Amino acid sequence: MVRIILVRHGQTEWNVTGRYQGQEDTPLSAYGREQGEKLARSLKDIPFDVCLSSPLQRAFITAKLCADLHNLSVEKDERLTEIHHGDWGGRLTEEIESLYADEFKAWHKAPHTVKMPGAGGESLEDVRKRVRPAFDDYAARFSGKTVLVAAHDAVNKVIICDLLGMGIDKFWQVKQDNTCINVLEEQDGKWRLVLLNSTLHMGYLFSTTDQKGL
């Protein structure tokens, strides 16, 4: 069996202001780093063997805070990079809703039908096609081990939907708060969800604040 501890990065200023960041390499805010430190302490006594991360610094630093307490290095995996928002990247939610009204509405009603407009823009299916092989690789490479994986909101939602056979049209039915902990296990080609969106290390069972942007 392979056990994956899948976490989301700590908060950034763009998360708070509702500016779509996608593959923009935004840093953790001071509070985001505090979240990462609390996450790391909560996992200090949980054994894991390998630490993998998106190369974007908000995920990598979150992973490194955890890995440092286990004397592990962090391996970057480009396949874990957040969805590319195309022309939406760097824009505020209100701007996107105004400039791309139809696409924005579809994104919230039928996200699996939307490909982000502009150069490099991805769809959820594009994300699924690069993230699923990564998780299949982890299952093959790390048999019998526990792996910490630090990634992003869209990446986490897509892979959870896909591994459970839910379909990426259920994207918005999965919530991923900053530094949340998910646990997934694979055995004999079958995946199961053990834990979803746990934020107990932050002192609350659930967040009452909806994120404005990805």
pLDDT at 213 over 80: no
152 flagged as catalytic: yes
Q: What is the pTM of this model?
A: 0.96
Start-end of H helices in 47-152: 57-68, 93-99, 101-109, 124-141
* Residue 211 neighbours by CB under 8 Å, 6+ apart: 15, 18, 153, 177
For residue range 17-46, list pLDDT tens digits in order: 999 999 999 999 999 999 999 999 999 999
For the chain, the residue count is 214
Q: What is the pLDDT of residue 214?
A: 66
Is the model's pLDDT at 97 over the cut of 80? yes
Q: Spell out the SS3 assignment of 33-77.
A: HHHHHHHHHHCCCCCCCEEEECCCHHHHHHHHHHHHCCCCCCEEC
- Could you tell me if 160 and 174 are in contact, meaning their C-beta atoms sit under 8 angstroms apart? yes
Concerning whether 9 is annotated as a catalytic residue, the answer is yes
| Catalytic-role residue among 70, 108, 152, 201 | 152
Read off the DSSP letter of residue 200: G
Joined tokens for residue 28: 């953790």
Tokens of 70: 């286990």
- Active-site position among 9, 70, 84, 85: 9
Q: Kindly state the greatest CA–CA separation across the chain.
A: 50
Confidence class of residue 210 from pLDDT cuts 50, 70 and 90? low
